[in-house]
Amino acid sequence: MNLTKLLPQFKRLSLCPSIRHISTDQCLLFRATPCLMAEPLKKKRKLDPAVIRAREERKKKRLEKQIRRLEKNARQMKPIGECEVPLTLLDEKLDRQRNILISAEVLEKRALLEKKWANFKRLQLLSDLQMIDRIIYTQQKALDELKNESEELYQEAIQMDFHMIPFKTMGPVETRSIENYDALDGEYQDVSKKW
Amino acid sequence: MVSCIFGTYWLRETNVDSNVLPEHVKNNIRKAQLQKKDVDDIDITTKQTTQDLIDAWKDEFAKFIPSSRITEADKSKDVTSMKRKLDKPLVFVLDQKIGDQSFYLLPQGKREEGETLRQCAERVVKEKCGNDIKVQIFGNAPCGFYKYKYPKPLRNEDSVGAKIFVYFARYSSGQISNSKAKYQWLDKLELEKTWPESYKKSLLPILFD
């Protein structure tokens, strides 16, 4: 049979002559030979266990070093000048001690004063607590009365006041400010260290 | 008073005892020791500086006069000024007519239909003291309550008396711009003298000491 004659005829029959589709669906019973997919195995190189251990160790060390370096940089913070005791002070600590001998009389006086102070603070605390109790009581009384008067107004009154959050307050101050006080001024040079 | 005396005494006594010598005192001692060793080497000017510094500080401190706690208003007994009795909480009271008498009472007004008590309090402050003043009302809940009966001729079948709910507010800024208002800033002791008996009984407990 002459194939060259047959081929153009079949070509005309097919819808899409230039691209051929192939399927290996199970139902087509199309089988690829497994042995053709095979590939010769790579020869496994046998490594000395000591070498492996050394390599792992090196890897671990490198990681550790990196971590240490990162930690060192991360932990470093701006020093706070006021919180650090100058080294000269630490060196001369013994030298700088005031060796004051306090007489028994003075100690006695101080102890008495401390007792007086403790008593004063106790009474102060008590009176404060009483005051707070009193104020809470009067407010509760007012709210109860309001509830009797009008439930609606009561509901309004017990709402949270968001103007008070966050709460900010100032004073009373120990000494009042001097009016029109001209603060001493001069030329300043900022010597604080830049970080 | 006790706290003041204790504070100063205790600080002077114990705090100084436990502190280490500061730099300038230490310098003084150092120089005195050096001076003992060799008198000639010491420069007279440097020897003086530390002591000079201390003297200068003392001078500066002596020159500084803190403002007094007794203000002009205290001296002139001006009860309309807020800058009196700085160490005491002052309460704003307004001359108001109740029936045919007038008293110095907390600013009060009638609640109108449709407003909450808080809104009413804000409105009353504006009405009585002018628009300039700014006050901070603390919370939506009233802090005090007072009930009274109208004088006999004013009573009728609908109303025999009034209930007053008091809100606590603090002055924040501004002036009292209502020129008609007769007002006073009084502390608790003075309020005890000016307020009527029943008003005092129910409203004095709401004040902080």
Whether B178 shows a pLDDT value over 90: the answer reads no
In our burial notation (b when 16+ CB lie closer than 10 A, e otherwise), range B150-186 reads eeeeeeeeeeeeeebbbbbbeeeeeebebeebebbbb
Q: How many CB atoms lie within 10 A of CB A141?
A: 17
Amino acid identity of B132? D
Measuring CA to CA, which residue among B176, B196, B181 is closest to residue B130? B176
Question: Is residue B183 a contact partner of residue B93, using CB atoms and an 8 Å limit?
Answer: yes
Q: Are residues B120 and B192 in the same domain?
A: yes
State the average pLDDT over residues B178-199: 86
Residue in B with minimal Cα distance to A176? B67
Interface with B, mutate which of A89, A102, A137, A138 (most B CBs under 10 A): A138
Interface with A, mutate which of B1, B4, B21 (most A CBs under 10 A): B21
Q: Are residues B28 and B84 in the same domain?
A: no
State the average pLDDT over residues B43-52: 63
Task: Please work out, in degrees rounded to the nearest 5, the angle formed at the alpha carbon of residue B85 by the alpha carbons of B96 and B88.
Answer: 85
| Domain range annotation of chain A | 104-158
pTM of the predicted model as reported, rounded to 2 decimal places: 0.63
Question: Is residue A159 a contact partner of residue A167, using CB atoms and an 8 Å limit?
Answer: no
Q: Are residues B21 and B111 in the same domain?
A: no
Q: Is B8 on the interface with A (CB under 8 A)?
A: no
Task: Please work out, in degrees rounded to the nearest 5, the angle formed at the alpha carbon of residue A86 by the alpha carbons of A80 and A87.
Answer: 130
Question: Is residue B132 a contact partner of residue B176, using CB atoms and an 8 Å limit?
Answer: yes
Q: Are residues B123 and B186 in the same domain?
A: yes
CA distance A103 to chain B (A): 12
- Domain containing B101 equals 72-206
Q: Are residues B170 and B112 in the same domain?
A: yes
Q: Are residues B120 and B189 in the same domain?
A: yes
B141 DSSP 8-state letter: S
Q: Calculate the CA A80 to chain-centre distance.
A: 21
Measuring CA to CA, which residue among B115, B123, B105 is closest to residue B164? B105
Measuring CA to CA, which residue among B193, B1, B208 is closest to residue A127? B208
B59 confidence band (pLDDT: 50, 70, 90)? very high
DSSP A31-43: ---HHHH--PPPP
pLDDT digits (tens, 9 = 90+) for A7-17: 666 665 655 55
* Residue that is last in its domain, among B27, B43, B63: B63
Domain count within chain B = 2
Q: Are residues B10 and B89 in the same domain?
A: no
* Residue that is last in its domain, among B39, B63, B87: B63
Phi, psi of A174 (to 5 degrees): -65, -50
Q: Are residues B118 and B179 in the same domain?
A: yes
CA distance A81 to chain B (A): 17
* Residue that is last in its domain, among B22, B41, B63: B63
pLDDT of residue A47: 80
**Chain A residues inside the 8 Å CB shell of B141:** 139, 142-143, 157-158
Q: Are residues B34 and B88 in the same domain?
A: no
State the average pLDDT over residues A97-110: 86
pLDDT of residue B39: 56
- B80 Cβ contact partners less than 8 Å away, ≥ 6 residues apart: B183, B184, B185
Q: Are residues B105 and B177 in the same domain?
A: yes
The C-alpha atoms of residue A6 and residue A1 are separated, in whole angstroms, by: 9
